[in-house]
């Protein structure tokens, strides 16, 4: 079993490979609205397929994605898309792990770090300043995959 550290942003290679990615700001889409996630997972699988080929890996066992809450990619929709698309031999028995990252900010006035529940409420809960910097929450990348 080999673990390959990947740390690859998904959105840039998708654009370069010709995938049309439409971003939606509505995280409360109706059930079944998986088009965005299908294109993301298809692009992720292309990236892993190319890397696995270069590393002589014929069977993927685990894939870990890191998904920020502001990435507009829903974990359950990513899982659904992966189950739908992972029919080929390389991905057939692979497990998809998804780590969802909170929206974490740091106040530039008092230097306190905090988790923002709503992206529209980025005011510092300690001093009330609106001068904040988002530290996490926009991530969307493949952290690693494992295979033989």
Q: Please report whether residue 130 resides in a domain.
A: no
60-68: strand order across its sheet: 2-9, 140-147, 60-68, 95-101
Residue 56: CATH number of its domain: 3.30.2320.50
Task: Kindly report whether the global pTM for this prediction surpasses the value 0.85.
Answer: no
Q: What is the mean pLDDT of residues 79-103?
A: 96
What domain range includes position 62? 2-102+137-147
For 109-139, write each residue's pLDDT tens digit.
999 999 998 766 678 999 999 999 999 999 9
Q: Looking at the domain assignment, is residue 121 inside a domain?
A: no
- For 13-29, write each residue's pLDDT tens digit: 333 333 333 333 334 44
**Per-residue pLDDT, 36:** 81
Lowest mean pLDDT among 9-13, 66-70, 77-81, 124-128: 9-13
């Amino acid at each position: 079993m080999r673990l390959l550290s990947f740390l690859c942003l998904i959105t840039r290679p998708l654009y370069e490979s010709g995938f049309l990615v439409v971003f939606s700001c509505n995280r409360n889409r109706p059930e079944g609205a998986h088009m965005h996630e299908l294109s993301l997972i298809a692009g992720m699988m292309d990236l892993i397929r190319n890397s696995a080929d270069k590393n002589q890996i014929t069977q993927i066992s685990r894939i870990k994605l890191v998904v920020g809450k502001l990435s507009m990619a829903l974990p359950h929709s990513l899982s659904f898309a992966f189950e739908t698309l992972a029919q080929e031999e390389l991905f057939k028995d692979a497990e998809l792990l998804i780590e969802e990252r909170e929206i974490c900010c740091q106040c530039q006035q008092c230097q306190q770090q905090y988790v923002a529940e709503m992206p529209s409420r980025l005011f510092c809960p300690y001093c009330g300043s609106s001068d904040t910097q988002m530290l996490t929450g926009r991530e969307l990348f493949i952290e690693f995959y494992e295979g033989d």
